[in-house]
């Protein structure tokens, strides 16, 4: 399972559990909260009505006095109220009064007149000077039929409790308010849960992208690709910078080790030739004086091998300058035709010396690339010199530049001996070279490697294959710039 998915699932679990607990708490508190508010209102109502009923109760006309008439008239009143979207047409109070023994002496609904209520908590507690209230079901088979009863004492002139007035109201009257409040809490809870999950998804995706970019960078470095460090933020940027620093130091150490090993190996042959020739020039062989022709031959060998060493060092430095670069510093739009003309002029002395003609063929629409003119020119010079080394004297090298789709392609075609099959996969290796025709000395084996590095630095690739009818084709393919 990917780390982004694991992070998201963990976050989802935490948010879901927290949301569930909060929802249960809120939903569980809605109903008690509304009922507590209703009970508070009933307490006020009961005490107000108890004060209004005191005179009739003490006068013995509580059931047929003015108080009773007004309470009964309340049941006929059209309230016409609109409470937060809910209509209220009639009062749903039930008011009853008991005497000091708990016997009902007034009932607004007239159903329990004369009954003994002395054991009900609202009457029992109030008669004893305590707060009396209860919630009892009207139908024991229906748990939603509960009615809240709140009582207030009726006192005589001496303050003695002589009766109890109770106000009762069905709990179902507040059910719509409870349901709506629970619905609002539930909807907002689900919305917040959705937003939290969306935030978690975005955060997990961001973390996953940061980690994937670091992973891709590490994989690319492992594969030897030239890639810049990933762009990130915070700790991920610091981690990317640390990886880049580690890569640079490890590559630098490995680079030096490989170059020292390869350079010493490649220098053994010319140094051995120089040393042997020098030893022969220092003294006569078997006491026989060395002729002038032999001296000239050995001196020429020393000069050729010295030039080979110098050329190898120059190309090695040029190759090192591009191998350590991860990207171009200042790529600019370039006309590939102009770069080719400059490269041909730079290679002209060697071509003329070998008696080789160079023919340039350009796309009429022109070919443009973005890159470093100096590096591209040096790479093309290497391709021309390599072609000249293998082309027969008096032959022609064709240089063709064209745009194929979104690629700018340069081909250097010669009519030499071509590339042996066993060497096709190795020609771009460092220090790998083939014997030149007519006994010519091998090259440094760094020119084509330099070309491949320059191509990669420009986002392209280099290739070398055999030409139909004999000879070789060196190809440099680069991303074309917009015309």
Structural domain includes residue 159: yes
Q: What is the CATH number of the domain that holds 457?
A: 3.30.565.10
The predicted model gives 117-123 an average pLDDT of 93
Which range is least confidently modeled, 43-57, 217-231, 262-276?
Answer: 262-276
Q: In what order do the strands lie in the sheet with 104-107?
A: 104-107, 94-99, 161-170, 146-155, 133-137
Cα distances from 370 to residues 365, 407, 448, 452, 482, in angstroms, run: 17, 11, 21, 17, 9
Q: 312 with 345, same domain?
A: no
Which range is least confidently modeled, 83-87, 140-144, 218-222?
Answer: 83-87
Task: Give the Cβ contact number of residue 65 at 10 Å.
Answer: 16
The predicted model gives 72-76 an average pLDDT of 82
Q: How many structural domains does the chain have?
A: 3
pTM here is: 0.44
Structural domain includes residue 212: no
pLDDT > 70: what percent of the chain? 69
Question: Which DSSP category does 285 fall into?
Answer: B
Structural domain includes residue 196: no
Q: 350 with 288, same domain?
A: no
Structural domain includes residue 375: yes
Task: Tell me the sheet residues that pair with 399.
Answer: 360, 412
> 155-177: per-residue pLDDT in tens?
998 999 999 999 999 888 767 77
Q: 153 with 45, same domain?
A: yes
Residue 263 binned pLDDT confidence (cut-offs 50, 70, 90): low
> 414-445: per-residue pLDDT in tens?
988 888 888 888 887 876 777 766 655 556 66
Residue finishing a domain among 304, 325, 346 = 325
Residue 25 binned pLDDT confidence (cut-offs 50, 70, 90): low
Note the pLDDT of residue 249.
59
Q: 305 with 349, same domain?
A: no
Structural domain includes residue 218: no
Q: What is the CATH number of the domain that holds 314?
A: 1.10.287
Q: 258 with 305, same domain?
A: yes
Note the pLDDT of residue 455.
86
Structural domain includes residue 208: no
> 199-209: per-residue pLDDT in tens?
777 777 777 77
Note the pLDDT of residue 43.
93
Q: 290 with 346, same domain?
A: no
Domain extent, residue 393, equals 328-483
Q: 88 with 175, same domain?
A: yes
Q: 170 with 311, same domain?
A: no
Sequence-separated (6 or more) residues with CB below 8 Å from residue 7: 203, 204, 207, 208
Structural domain includes residue 217: no
Q: 98 with 10, same domain?
A: yes
What distance in Å separates the CA atoms of residue 351 and residue 169, rounded to the nearest whole number?
113
Structural domain includes residue 292: yes
The predicted model gives 10-20 an average pLDDT of 71
User: Which of the two residues, 391 and 196, has the higher pLDDT score?
Assistant: 391
Residue finishing a domain among 147, 179, 211 = 179
Q: 346 with 407, same domain?
A: yes
The rounded mean pLDDT for the chain is 78
Q: 421 with 296, same domain?
A: no
The answer, yes or no, to whether residue 268 has pLDDT greater than 60, is no
Residue reference for tokens 């083939």: 434
Q: 379 with 252, same domain?
A: no
User: Which of the two residues, 324 and 352, has the higher pLDDT score?
Assistant: 352
> 291-325: per-residue pLDDT in tens?
677 677 767 767 766 765 665 566 556 555 555 56
**End-to-end Cα spacing for the chain:** 46
Q: What is the CATH number of the domain that holds 152?
A: 3.30.450.20
What distance in Å separates the CA atoms of residue 374 and residue 376, rounded to the nearest whole number?
6
Residue finishing a domain among 325, 351, 384 = 325
Cα distances from 179 to residues 27, 88, 176, in angstroms, run: 10, 17, 5
SS3 (DSSP) at 169 = strand
Tokens describing residue 222: 């492992």
């Amino acid at each position: 399972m990917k780390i982004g998915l694991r992070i998201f699932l963990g976050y989802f679990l935490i948010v879901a559990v927290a949301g569930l607990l909060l929802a249960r708490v809120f939903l569980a508190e809605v109903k008690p909260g509304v009922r507590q508010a209703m009970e508070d209102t009933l307490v006020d109502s009961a005490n107000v009505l108890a004060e209004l009923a005191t005179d009739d109760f003490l006068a013995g006309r509580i059931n047929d006095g003015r108080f009773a008439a007004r309470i009964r008239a309340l049941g006929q009143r059209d309230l016409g109220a609109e409470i937060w979207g809910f209509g209220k047409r009639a009062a749903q109070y039930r008011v009853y009064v008991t005497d000091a023994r708990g016997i009902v002496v007034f009932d607004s609904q007239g159903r329990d007149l004369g009954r003994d209520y002395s054991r009900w908590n609202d009457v029992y507690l109030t008669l004893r000077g305590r707060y009396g209230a209860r919630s009892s079901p009207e139908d024991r088979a229906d748990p939603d039929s509960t009615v809240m009863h709140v009582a207030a004492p009726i006192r005589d002139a001496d303050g003695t409790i002589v009766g109890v007035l109770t106000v009762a109201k069905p709990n179902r009257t507040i059910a719509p308010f409870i349901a709506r409040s629970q619905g609002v809490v539930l909807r907002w809870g689900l919305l917040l849960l959705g937003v939290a999950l969306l935030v978690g998804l975005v955060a997990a995706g961001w973390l996953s992208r940061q980690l994937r970019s670091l992973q891709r960078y590490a994989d690319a470095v492992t594969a030897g690709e030239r890639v810049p460090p990933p762009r990130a933020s915070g700790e991920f940027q610091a981690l990317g910078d640390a990886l880049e620093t580690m890569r640079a130091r490890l590559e630098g150490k490995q680079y030096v080790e490989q170059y020292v090993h390869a350079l010493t190996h490649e220098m053994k042959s010319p140094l051995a030739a120089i040393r042997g020739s020098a030893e022969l020039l220092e003294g006569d062989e078997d006491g026989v004086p060395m002729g002038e022709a032999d001296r000239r031959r050995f001196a020429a060998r020393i000069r050729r091998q010295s030039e080979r060493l110098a050329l190898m060092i120059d190309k090695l430095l040029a190759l090192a300058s591009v191998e350590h670069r991860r990207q171009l510093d200042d790529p600019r739009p370039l006309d590939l035709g102009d770069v080719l003309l400059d490269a041909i002029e730079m290679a002209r002395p060697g071509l003329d010396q070998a008696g080789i003609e160079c023919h340039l063929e350009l796309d009429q629409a022109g070919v443009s690339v973005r890159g470093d003119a100096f590096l591209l020119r040096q790479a093309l010079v290497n391709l021309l010199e390599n072609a000249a080394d293998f082309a027969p004297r008096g032959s022609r090298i064709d240089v063709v530049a064209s745009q194929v789709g979104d690629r700018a392609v340069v081909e250097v075609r010669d009519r030499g001996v071509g590339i042996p099959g066993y060497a096709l996969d190795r020609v771009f290796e460092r220090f790998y070279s083939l014997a030149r025709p007519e006994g010519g000395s091998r090259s440094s084996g760094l020119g084509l490697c330099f070309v491949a590095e320059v191509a990669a630095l420009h986002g392209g690739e280099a290739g070398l294959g055999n030409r139909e009818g004999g000879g070789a084709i060196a190809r440099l393919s680069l991303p074309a710039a917009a015309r």
